[in-house]
Structures are given as structure tokens and as C-alpha cells.
Structure 1
């Protein structure tokens, strides 16, 4: 893959595939896929900042969020509006309809960045980057907090992610073709990270601490919130790529890495117990609906490499 992201993203032209051509393709993920097993696992929430943060460290995507979203007033609300359609593209019985809904929501998201160059959300280079952050979340959070994935399983998840991307109906011209290419692509994108206004705002709670309720005196809240802030600055910051920690001014050292590694090891060791929870508790609602519809219990599936 030789796509020049920096040049092609500035073309700012959408590249949408013909829906009739897509209808002719048997595109669907199912209960036998690793994406079904892990993408909707509730433990993916541990990667929420990695997912949202890496997306918004790329200038054009962050500018689109700033121009066309209410992230600064309703950060949680935006996440709630984004998550369900993306998850339904994986788990629903009408994945193409949901994929196109996600795509069509982005048709009018366009504008300019600081240097005056244009962006468009359906430019394939920009749209694929957003998709790649979801793929990375599944790979990273599963391997870190659920169980170690074999190389073959990582390859399988990546190959399944290509089907997932096709469901959106956007040109795959920037999509890596192999798992190795995806890893190279991911690192090359991390090297393009900049401290956008969106991501600096979104990670403020990690630098300054979680804001307290208005009725509680600030000194008392700082004392009460100290354990929570300590956990967040270890677990959440630990999930982030080094390049993101740097641009977001989030300190990290060997001591924090050891704490993070211990927490991850405990989570993986607890997986056999967590995996016995009721399916409704183990999966987000849209994934749970998919499992119930198929009549498959996911808990015995794919628990070993």
C-alpha cells in the first residue's frame, strides 16, 4: 500500500461506492467471527479513550468533529450517538442498511483546516482512518485485557475488518490489504498526530482530574477523587499509543507501565470468571441482540488461541 495520506486527504473529495453493486455482494459478519466475539464485549470500554483519542489526533478528523459536532457541550452524548450505528453494522441482521446510515450521516461533514486546505469526512483516507481506530481497539483491548491473541487470530480480525469496512460503501483505496500492512499503516498514522483542540479538550480530565459535583467543595472533591484519578491516569493513559501521550502532555514512566501491566495481567487472569457472566452483562445491548437473534451462546467460543 503506497497511498500518500497527507496528499490525498487534502483532495477532500468523497468516494462513495454504488449501492447496487454492494447489494450484489454477500457482505455479512456472523457468530463464527472473532469480531462478533470481541467487538461488543463490555470490556472494550477500557479502550474508549484510545479509540476516540487516536481518531482526533489527526487534524482533519478533529476539525470535522469540532465543526459539525457538539463535543464540547455533550461529549458523552456524541459517543452514545456514534456507538450504536457502528455496532449494528457488525451485529444487526441488516448490516448494509446500518453501514450506509453511518456513511450517509457524514455526507455533509466538510470544511477547512488551519492551513486553508479542505477536508471531507467521506474522503477514503479520512474515513478509513476512523474505521481503523475501531479495528485497533478490538485488537488492542482484546489482547491486553481479555486474552492474548495469536498472530493468526490478529490476521483473522483484520480480514474480518475488511468486510466491516465494505459495509459502509466507501472506497477502500486506502485500506491496507494485509495485517502486516495494517500495522505499518497504524504506525505511520501515529507519527502524524498533532495536539488538536478537540483532543486536548477531550483528555483534560486526565491532566486536571475528573471534575467534581458543584455542590461539593473543591478541596474535599480533590481528596475523594484522588483514587479515581490515579486509576484513570494508569489504566486509561496506559492504553494510549506513546505518540498520543506526547501530543496530549500525559506523563508516563516505567513505574506507571509496571502498574498498568499488572492490572492488565489481573484482567486476563479473571477472563474465565468474567466469561461466565450472563450474556446480557457481558455484551453491549446491540451485540446482545445479535447473539440472541442467532441463538448462539458466545461464552464457549474462541477462548483459546
Structure 2
């Protein structure tokens, strides 16, 4: 299967920096699947080096989209990172990161990040575009070389799958609770910032982090994780998102380095800008 390229909608939207306003939605949702959360708890340095772990994961995922002819090789490498991630759940059942049901959930959260980020902060999508993006997501998933047994056939099927996962499968796993702890307790002070400076910067930084993190989560998962979110919070979030979308025309005339991630820009230079 050929990797994605400049004719794909995924190339146009996934590396757009506005999708960063979604916050850590994908990572939190991943950890809410009990088996995936347990795998991180048992095997990852996520708790000791949270931001470093996230940064190391982001590049390879972006390169499965923007890697061109190298995307399948990157996907294989990402898959093989997970070969030894296995263990036993608290109830005695076993898990393995390469179980297609677990692996596809991780991919589904990245696809959801793309869809939610685009519709919330870039522009509304037509049904035809949603269908096209879902078909492209199957091409993207194929880069990993993992069984497609768990992959819903159509966009409509994926929506049913997503609803079922949010209402029947995800939980407030310890890993997920840890990942949103800063939203209620505040961000830890960066080592390079003196305590007196952080006392000034910390309050607004915490407010923004909470707003983007909690606002960017599905309502079902806010309830599961006991994250406070009022109707007034929701109105502010929707107003913020609508304001960002209104500046789409201005955004599109900004220099490319301000608009797209480095991985996307390198791909545009190599294979052409999205069209």
C-alpha cells in the first residue's frame, strides 16, 4: 500500500499547528483503555519523564503520515517498539501491546485528534471529507504492519466504534488519572524557572493548561475522570474555538514555519505541498 502524500487531506490537516490546541486528548484517551494504561504503568518511563516520553513518541507518529517512501519503515519501527510490552492485568488476564484491539485504539485516538482538531480549530468538514479522511486513516494504519482485524470498515462504523469505546470500555485507569493530574493540581515548576518567577507565571500557565486539557476531552471522559467543567466553561471553550476558526484566512497567509510542524514542512519540501 502506498503511503499518504500531498493529495491527501491528512497531509493538509494533521501537521497544522492549530491542532495542538486540542491539548493531550489523544494521550489521555489512550491511557483510559485499561490494557494500554497498564502497559504504560508496567513498562514506560512516562511517569518519570512525562514530557520527554511524549516528545519522543510524537516524531515517529508524524513520520508515519509525512515520511513518504520511508513511512512503512517508520511504522515497522514503531510497531517493533511494542513487541515486548506485555503483562498481566490486575484481574489476572494477560495483555500485549500488539493485540490488534489495543493497537488500533491507540491509532484511533490519533485519528480522532486529527478529526476533532480540524473541526474545532480549523474548519468544519463535509461528510465526503470525513469519509475520505477515514479511508486515509486506514492507509496510515497499514504503515504499522499490524493486523487490521479491529479496524472498522467505514466512517459510519468508526463512529459506532468510537461511541462504544467511550461508553463501555474506557476507565479512569491510574495512568490516565496521572496524565490529567496537572489539570487540577497545577503544572510542576520547570527546573530552569526560578520559584519566584514561577509564582507569577504559574497561575496563567495552569489556567491555560486546564482550559485546553479539560475542554479538549469528550464529555463522557470528563465524567469518568471527575474533571470539573461547567456550562460557563463550555461556552468559553466554544467561543475560543469559533474565534480561532474565524482567523483561518489570516492563518493561511502566515509563513509555513508558523503554520505547520517541522515534520510536515520537510515532507512538503520533499514531495510538494498539499493540494
Give the TM-score, by structure 1 length: 0.85
Q: Distance in 1 between matches of 2:210 and 2:67?
A: 35
Q: Give SS of 1:168's match.
A: coil
User: Does 1:244 find its partner at 2:217?
Assistant: no
* 1:266 to partner: Cα distance: 0.6
Tell me the residue number matched to 1:77.
52
Deviates more, 1:225-234 or 1:194-203: 225-234
Tell me the residue number matched to 1:202.
179
List alignment gaps of at least 5 residues for structure 2.
none
**Pick from 119, 130, 140: which aligns with 1:154?**
130
Tell me the residue number matched to 1:17.
none
* 1:27 to partner: Cα distance: 2.2
Tell me the residue number matched to 1:128.
104
The 5 Å alignment of 1:94-243 reads: 94-191=70-167, 192-212=169-189, 215-216=194-195, 221=199, 224-243=201-220
* 1:224 to partner: Cα distance: 4.3
Q: Give SS of 1:62's match.
A: helix
Q: Is the 8 A contact 2:23 2:212 kept in 1?
A: no
Q: Distance in 2 between matches of 1:263 and 1:137?
A: 18
Q: Is the 8 A contact 1:112 1:119 kept in 2?
A: yes
* 1:213 to partner: Cα distance: 5.1
Give the TM-score, by structure 2 length: 0.94
Q: Give SS of 2:195's match.
A: coil
Cα RMSD (Å): 1.6
**Pick from 278, 284, 300: which aligns with 2:255?**
278
Q: Is the 8 A contact 1:53 1:244 kept in 2?
A: no
Q: Distance in 1 between matches of 2:17 and 2:187?
A: 22
* 1:118 to partner: Cα distance: 0.5
* 1:56 to partner: Cα distance: 0.4
* 1:196 to partner: Cα distance: 1.1
Q: Note the alpha carbon deviations across 1:187-223, whole angstroms, 9 max, x for none.
A: 11112221111111111110112223574259x82x6
Tell me the residue number matched to 2:268.
291
Give the structure with the larger helix fraction: 2
Q: Is the 8 A contact 1:279 1:297 kept in 2?
A: no
Q: Distance in 2 between matches of 1:84 and 1:179?
A: 26
Q: Give SS of 1:96's match.
A: helix
> Number of matched residues?
271
User: Does 1:65 find its partner at 2:40?
Assistant: yes
